[in-house]
Structure 1
Amino acid sequence: MSRDRLSEVAWDLFGKTPRGWALVQGIVDFVHRHVRFDYMKARPTKTARDVFEEREGVCRDFAHLAITLCRCMNIPARYCTGYLGDMDLPKPLGEMDFSAWFEVWLGDRWYVFDARHNRPRSGRILMARGRDAADAALTMTFGRVTLSRFDIYTDEDRLGLASL
């Protein structure tokens, strides 16, 4: 298990960090600085330890490493996946995409963190939650599959209708 392979690393890096929000943010900051985003480095067999050692990956890998480090520090964490909007990106706008982030339980409820972006983002559309990406897969395919088109659009809810 990746958790067992990263426990000593986690305690060496974060063992003296105050518990709670500061600890989770410290983990997110570390992963955000430590891992370089690269679509071409995605692979279905990549573990959190692989991400830690290779220092590159996709949003799923950022989330897996952060979740693993949180769990090593005895913080409940779960994987989230869905779409991430482009409405709060600088001009020219980035593209919408599938995305992964995570949530941690801090005393009274689950809180959202995103180790790839490491800042609040608008337009998250949650599709699934689970222990990891395999537990919350958006698609399940067998054999070679090519995604030929992917279009998702979000708009800000300026009328407050999202709460209906």
Structure 2
Amino acid sequence: MKIRVGYEMIYDFPQPTPMIMVLGAHFTRASDVIIPDFLTVNPPVEITPYRDGFGNWCSRIVAPAGRVRLAADGMVRDSGSPDPIVPSAVQHAVEDLPAETLVYLLGSRYCETDRLSDVAWRMFENTPPGWARVQAICDFVHNHIKFGYEHARATKTAADAFDEGKGVCRDYAHLAITFCRCMNIPARYCTGYLGDIGMPKPWAAGDFAGWFEAYLGGHWHTFDPRNNIPRIGRVLIAQGRDASDVPITQTFGPNTLVSFKVWTDEVEETV
């Protein structure tokens, strides 16, 4: 299938303001890109691209004072298949893990392994190691957290989400990531496009999504405790230790977000 992906964000800036954006389909989807979802800025300014420490493509600008529009509109090919399920994927002993995965065992800004380690072992020690253990974690998080945009908070951590039992998709991901790391399973945060392709209507307004990947059986596998079912049309944008590594936009000065739109829509094929 073909999927149209894109966004429009409109800001008001009282003064020229530096920004960093982590936007656009991840390089691992490069062969699927039909129309690139290149960032455009209006009024036009110089865009400086760079790769961060996790390999994500990022962009830097200095937004001028006044109203600024950030937008992209692209198209990617997709298999149309739901997220794979691999029950046979095994958990590795820590000493056998590749060196590049070890950072995803450690605590991070939103994933406090030190605060939740005892809880994780108490709840998941007797689950079968490997895929079943990660799925048990996702099942718990899915049932434990009540979703609601009104529960979003920039400072909310995994421990906060556990204590409060409410949050948004990134809070589901942070809590599941933290439990996985506590159980010695590398887990990394993912942000990207995820619409409602294949789901019954009515559909919610478009938004970027947060999920995670766990390292099992020599590969990174997708898990989504917010939805907790395989979904169609997931398009990765960036990966990191948690949401602090992959903010969609990071502004270095006061601003007002005036408008925010995201789309991830299946494109009808013409015969």
When normalised by structure 1's length, the TM-score is 0.90
Do residues 148 (structure 1) and 259 (structure 2) align?
yes
- Give deviations 1:99-134, integer Å, cap 9, x for gaps: 000000002200000000000111212111000001
| 2:84 aligned partner | none
Partner amino acid, structure 2, of 1:152: W
**What is the identity percentage for the equivalent residue pairs of Structure 1 and Structure 2?**
56
Query: Are the equivalent residues in 2 in contact too, given 1:128–1:138 (CA < 8 A)?
Result: no
- Match of 1:82, SS state, is strand
| 2:136 aligned partner | 26
Q: Between Structure 1 and Structure 2, whose CA radius of gyration is higher? A: 2
Quote the offset at 1:153 in angstroms. Answer: 3.5
Q: What is the alpha-carbon distance in structure 2 between the residues aligned to residue 147 and residue 58 of structure 1?
A: 21
| 1:89 aligned partner | 199
- Match of 2:214, SS state, is strand
Query: Are the equivalent residues in 1 in contact too, given 2:208–2:262 (CA < 8 A)?
Result: no
Partner amino acid, structure 1, of 2:256: V
Do residues 134 (structure 1) and 244 (structure 2) align?
yes
Matched ranges for 1:5-84 at <5 A = 5-84=115-194
Structure with the higher strand share, 1 or 2? 2
Distance 1:154 1:34, change over 3 A: same
Structure with the higher helix share, 1 or 2? 1
**Count of aligned residue pairs for this structure pair:** 159
Do residues 112 (structure 1) and 222 (structure 2) align?
yes
- Match of 1:134, SS state, is helix
Quote the offset at 1:157 in angstroms. Answer: 8.5
Partner amino acid, structure 2, of 1:107: G
Gaps of 5+ in 1: 160-164
Partner amino acid, structure 2, of 1:55: G
Partner amino acid, structure 1, of 2:160: D
- Match of 1:79, SS state, is strand
Query: Are the equivalent residues in 2 in contact too, given 1:127–1:138 (CA < 8 A)?
Result: no
Q: What is the alpha-carbon distance in structure 2 between the residues aligned to residue 150 and residue 52 of structure 1?
A: 29
Higher relative contact order (Cα pairs below 8 Å, separated by 6+ residues):
2
Q: What is the alpha-carbon distance in structure 1 between the residues aligned to residue 231 and residue 133 of structure 2?
A: 21
| 1:123 aligned partner | 233
Distance 1:151 1:76, change over 3 A: closer
Distance 1:151 1:8, change over 3 A: closer
Quote the offset at 1:149 in angstroms. Answer: 3.2
- Give deviations 1:60-109, integer Å, cap 9, x for gaps: 00000000000000000000001111212212233331100000000220
Gaps of 5+ in 2: 1-106
